[in-house]
Chain A
Amino acid sequence: MTRLAAAAALVAVVACGACGKAEPPAGLREADRPAFGGDFTLTNQDDRPFRLQDARGKAAFLFFGYTSCPDMCPVTMSRIAGAIGRVGKAAPDVVTLFVSVDPERDTPPVLKEYVASFGIPVIGLTGSDDQVRRVQSQYHASAQGVSTGTSNYLVNHTSAIFLLDRQGRLRQYFKYDESPEILAAALRAVLDDQS
């Protein structure tokens, strides 16, 4: 499979994150991996630059969402919290990266309040439209605003949960409603992997 074909196949699966279980990127040939994931720089909830490398040493769940999301995001964050709660003493070695797909409204102060509402460490990330779109592109994710006829527009967005290892490498991804048990098992494997 060429790198492009692999990426195209992954886009199809990720764009339909709620429809079926995705094949893990770990199944790709090593040569195809660089086309998926990778380092990025955004702005965190403290209005400071955040590079993915700053999370080096910790396993990470990465999720694209937005703070006024009424359904997918709170459900997914609950599942991520449930998974992290299942790894016991290793929990401090895990961080959750919440990348906003609504940077216009999700400013650092808004994200700060949002991430403080969880009992797990969450780093809220935002940036310019271009910066956020670039990160989405790296992870073959997409987002599009949808009018509701009120001032509170919605955002349709990729719902996959990405699991990164301690070096920031994308190891696996899951549909948004994967069970916390399955997420925790994958997380444990990543935490135990010293490579």
Chain B
Amino acid sequence: MLLAVACAGSEERGRRLYQERGCAVCHGATGRGDGPSARRLDVRPRDFASTAGYTQGASRDDIAASIRRGAGAMPPFRDISDAEAKEIAAWIVSLHRPSGGTR
């Protein structure tokens, strides 16, 4: 129970950080890869709901590493601390479709 509450808190902080840092510009407000910049990018930003395309792993730690190191066409966001990246990643993991099987 305590763990569940802690996870929910992390996801909420992650959602706020996602919004504050402008991740939605490419990935969209709900993480579907449909942000305002996405329509003119040659490589479509990740739709977080679908884990099929997560070539660098879809776990929270994998996603946090991708945020900080970059992944594919996404540049590295080294200004985002490891702790912050993990919180953003926790929110992203919460968006995975159950059929993705990686939660």
Contacts and interface: CB of A to CB of B under 8 A. Distances in A.
A105 interface: yes
A77 B29 CA distance: 16
Contacts of A69: 37
Given A78-B22, A152-B41, A152-B42, A180 B75 contact: no
Interface residues of A, number: 28
B20 A75 contact: no
Contact of A75 (B35, B40, B75): B75
Interface in B31-65: 35-37, 39-43
A92 to B, nearest CB: 14
Interface string A70-87: 111011011101100100
Given A74-B37, A110-B36, A150-B42, A118 B22 contact: yes
A117 interface: yes
Given A68-B40, A70-B41, A78-B21, A119 B78 contact: no
A79 B40 contact: no
B69 interface: no
Main secondary structure of the interface of B (DSSP, over half): loop
Contacts of B35: 117
Contacts of B21: 77-78, 81-82, 118-119
Given A78-B22, A119-B19, 11 more contacts: A70-B26, A70-B41, A70-B43, A70-B75, A71-B75, A77-B22, A78-B80, A118-B21, A118-B24, A152-B40, A177-B79
26 contacts: A69-B37, A70-B26, A70-B37, A70-B73, A74-B26, A75-B77, A75-B79, A77-B22, A77-B25, A78-B77, A78-B79, A81-B21, A82-B21, A82-B80, A85-B20, A105-B40, A114-B36, A117-B24, A117-B29, A118-B20, A118-B22, A119-B20, A119-B21, A150-B42, A152-B40, A179-B79
